[in-house]
């Protein structure tokens, strides 16, 4: 959650640099939508939202898409 807040604050601070307000709005909406995929373990939608060089910093560890998917699979198997 801290990462989302940081990203939102960063995007807000860059508002004057963006070419168009609609661009920044679309980015924030994508971030919010993608962040929700982390809560409901929606791997397919998450993979559609990210770039090839996606990285996530989670508890001090750097995760790429493959590691996030492994962790989601482990979490889902523990929940069921």
What is the count of structural domains for the chain?
1
For 8, phi and psi rounded to 5 degrees? -65, -45
Helices (H) and strands (E) in the chain, counts: 4, 2
d(CA 1, CA 39): 11
- Average pLDDT value over all residues in the chain: 79
Instruction: Give the closest residue to 24 by CA, choosing from 13, 37, 35.
Output: 13
Q: What is the pTM of this model?
A: 0.53
Could you tell me the residue range of the domain that residue 62 belongs to? 2-79
State the helix-helix crossing angle for 2-13 and 21-40, rounded to 10 degrees: 180
Residue 18 DSSP symbol: S
Give pLDDT tens digits for 37-63: 877 778 888 888 888 898 988 889 999
């Amino acid at each position: 959650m801290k990462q989302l807040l940081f990203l939102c604050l960063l995007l807000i601070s860059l508002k004057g640099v963006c070419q168009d307000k609609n661009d920044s709005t679309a980015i924030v909406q994508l971030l919010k939508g993608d962040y929700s995929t982390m809560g409901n373990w929606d791997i397919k939608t998450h993979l559609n939202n990210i770039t090839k060089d996606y990285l996530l910093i989670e508890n001090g560890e750097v995760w790429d898409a493959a590691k996030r998917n492994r962790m989601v699979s482990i979490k889902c198997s523990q929940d069921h």
